[in-house]
Amino acid sequence: MAFSTKTRKILVALLITGWSLALIYYFFQLPAIKHSLKTKQLYYNNRLLMGTFWQVSSPNKQAATIVFSEASRIEQLLSKYIATSEISQLNRLGKLKVSPDTFYIIKKSIEFHDKTFKAFDITVGPLIDLWGFTTQEFQVPTDDKIRDTLKLVGSDKIILHGNDNVVEFKIPGMKIDLGAIAKGYALDCAVKKLKEHGINNCLINAGGQVYALGDKFGKNWKIAIQGRNKLEIIGALELKDKSASTSGNYEQFFLKGGRLYCHIIDPRTGYPANNQITSATVITDKGITADALSTAIFVLDKDSQKQLIKEFPETQIKIY
Ligand code: ADP
Ligand code: MG
């Protein structure tokens, strides 16, 4: 197409004016654009803690340091794999004056035992050892051995001396294992500390159990529920100020004689839970409750699951 010289001059002038206006607009807006990019930035940090992979996502740079330091503090108190932890000492001595944190979590665990038809029981320690889950040297024990070991199991055999924070076992040889509740409690402690520091938006993923504090730039945090195959997503959740915990038979298990034996034990029988479900996810406002209930649901049969769900109306439960 041919233009006259005059038209061409007008077009060039319009082009230059257009570009100049665009540039002026860009430079004036630059601080605002930069600011919006900055405020929409999330910091991601990972750490191995409590035997699992933790990931912290938050618009606040300090969030991860606070979360990791709380999780590490709780791990040092509660891990049965740390010889100096209060739980290891209590398991060795059978009686110990413990810190308020340890006393609180044991007390809460006994309450969960009472509310879950005895499916949740932190005194499963000797059974976890017997089946080989502590050392990864798995075995299917004899019925006699299981019956003997069951004598050491039962949260009603823990004595709590509330006035001086002393925990005592009624029977020598008893062992506490907080593997089904400690992570949930650590999440609650971390969230409390974040709030004390004025941090109100943060997603913490502790090896599959999450706490979604606040939101992600005004929208709920979105999380996926992993299936048996790590790449398979079996559910999606949108969370705000909630914890979601999944207990399943695919994280830790062994196969023998064509049967799968998982690390969640039914404390009433001494055998690994075997109720034909793959996983149970519990969503509620406290990490400690989500953690304990997801383990209990995984142990219980359908009728007891329904009864338990009625007892916790504020809690959402998904079974796969
Ligand atoms: P995960 O460790 O994968 O988050 P859970 O929260 O369900 O899974 O915890 C399982 C761990 O809890 C086991 O490895 C064991 O240490 C302990 N445990 C097993 N069975 C029970 C039970 N019935 N009640 C309480 N703790 C249990
Ligand atoms: Mg649990």
Q: What is the DSSP string of 71-106?
A: HHHHHHHH-TTSTTSHHHHHHHHSEEE--HHHHHHH
Is the distance from CB of 179 to CB of 204 less than 8 angstroms?
Answer: no
In the chain, domain spans: 20-319
The number of beta carbons lying within 10 Å of the beta carbon of residue 17 is 10
Helix (H) or strand (E) run with residue 55 in it:
strand 52-58
- 295 Cα to the center of ligand 1, angstroms: 6
Four-residue CA torsion sign, 222, 262, 75, 159: positive
- Average pLDDT of the chain, as a whole number: 91
> Is the pLDDT score of 239 beyond 80?
yes
What CATH superfamily classification does 20-319 receive? ApbE-like domains (3.10.520.10)
The string of pLDDT tens digits covering residues 39-58 is 689 999 999 999 999 999 99
pLDDT in tens, 104-138: 999 999 999 999 999 999 999 999 999 999 999 99
Alpha helices in the chain, H assignment, sequence order: 5-39, 63-78, 86-93, 100-115, 125-130, 143-150, 182-196, 287-299, 302-311
Sign of CA dihedral 120, 125, 127, 128: positive
Residue 23 reports pLDDT greater than 60? no
**Residue 126: CB within 6 Å of ligand 1?**
no
Q: Decide if pLDDT at 13 tops 70.
A: no
User: For residue 158, what are the β-bridge partners?
Assistant: 169
Distance 196 CA to ligand 1 centre (A): 30
Q: Candidates 129, 295, 298: which one to mutate for ligand 1, based on the most atoms within 8 Å of Cβ?
A: 295
The torsion region of residue 50 among left (phi > 0), alpha (psi -120 to 50) and beta comes to left
Q: With pLDDT > 90 as the criterion, what percentage of the chain qualifies?
A: 78
Q: What residues does the ion ligand 2 have nearby, CB within 5 Å? A: 180, 291, 295
% the chain with pLDDT above 70: 87
Distance 281 CA to ligand 2 centre (A): 10
Q: Binning pLDDT at 50, 70 and 90, where does residue 278 land?
A: confident
Q: Is the CB of 120 under 6 A from ligand 1?
A: yes
Q: Is the pLDDT of residue 263 over 90?
A: yes
